[in-house]
């Protein structure tokens, strides 16, 4: 991914995350998810800064390590006629 693509993705992730904190119910949902993933309460505040700190080099390294195109399967779905 190019640096500009990573920046766009980071903005999207952070914007979406901030929306999940706009009401008390949504904050509770996020706190429960953090508990499931064994994250601290501080993670609510730290998450955006952690996302901003991610570099395109790190993203591309993760892509190389975790995604293997030769082992992927593409599935498509369409309405039956």
What's the mean pLDDT in 20-29? Answer: 92
Please give the model's pTM, rounded to 2 decimal places.
Answer: 0.75
- What is 11-57 written as a DSSP string? HHHHHHHHHTTSSHHHHHHHHHHHHHTT--TTHHHHHHHHHHH--HH
The domain spans of the chain are 3-71
Percent of the chain with pLDDT over 90: 79
Q: What does the alpha-carbon distance between residue 21 and residue 37 come to, in Å, rounded to a whole number? A: 18
Question: What mean pLDDT, rounded, does the chain reach?
Answer: 93
pLDDT for 66 beyond 90 = yes
Q: What does the alpha-carbon distance between residue 75 and residue 67 come to, in Å, rounded to a whole number? A: 16
């Amino acid at each position: 991914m190019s640096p500009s693509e990573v920046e766009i993705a980071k903005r999207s992730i952070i914007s979406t995350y901030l929306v999940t904190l706009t009401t008390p119910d949504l904050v509770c949902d996020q706190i429960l998810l953090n508990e499931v993933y064994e994250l601290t309460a501080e993670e609510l505040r730290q998450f955006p800064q952690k996302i901003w700190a991610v570099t395109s080099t790190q993203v591309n390294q993760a892509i190389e390590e975790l995604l293997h195109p030769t082992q992927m399967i593409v599935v498509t779905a369409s309405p039956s006629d």
